[in-house]
Structure 1
Amino acid sequence: MIKISLKKILCQLSQKKLYEKTFQSIYIVDFSLLDRVPLFKDEFKVIGTWYSYSGKRWICHTELSTEQFKKMITKNIDHKDLKKVKFYLD
């Protein structure tokens, strides 16, 4: 009986890992309401895997929480412009 339960648990863990690898959280940062798009800094590269970081929309996969991600991206943006930066999770 213990072997069956352990086998079942291992199967569930394997399925969870497969799901996590298949369906990654992707963040979209939208700067389209700003007059100027901020420059992409080297320090942003460590945040995660960037699929696009030119133009008004940046796209990234990261293991950071939403709040940590937002904090790192917005720390160099003028306080009055913070509400103009939009974040989407896909």
Structure 2
Amino acid sequence: MNFEKCSQIPCLTSEELKSLGKWYVSTGKEWICHSDDELEEFKNLFLNFINPEEWDTISFDSDFMPFQQS
């Protein structure tokens, strides 16, 4: 997710983040997460935690990187 156009970076609790997936980066203007959800489902779940006025300023991208859990 990219927050370059947002007026402020979202602040989610660790519980909120964990409910969405495994996070690699959750600070700054670009966050990276692995989720088993489809992109649209993930986007809808994530936006539930965000001020609706910011929804159109957040960009979501999907990249199919190999994922290996250790």
TM-score (structure 2 length as normaliser)? 0.77
* In 1: Cα distance, 2:9 partner to 2:32 partner: 14
If you compute each CA radius of gyration, which structure gives the higher value, 1 or 2?
1
Larger fraction in strand: 1
SS in structure 1 at match of 2:24: strand
Which of 44, 55, 63 aligns to 2:28? It is 55
Which of 10, 14, 17 aligns to 1:44? It is 17
What is the count of residue pairs matched by the alignment? 62
Q: Which runs of 5+ in 2 are unaligned?
A: 64-70
Residue identity (%)? 31
- Summarize the alignment of residues 57-72 of structure 1 with structure 2, pairs less than 5 Å apart: 57-72=30-45
TM-score (structure 1 length as normaliser)? 0.62
Larger fraction in helix: 1
1:31 and 2:27 correspond = no
> 2:11 corresponds to which letter in structure 1?
L
The Cα shift of 1:35 comes to: 1.2
> 1:36 corresponds to which letter in structure 2?
Q
SS in structure 1 at match of 2:22: strand
> 1:81 corresponds to which letter in structure 2?
E
The Cα shift of 1:37 comes to: 0.4
User: RMSD in angstroms over aligned alpha carbons?
Assistant: 1.2
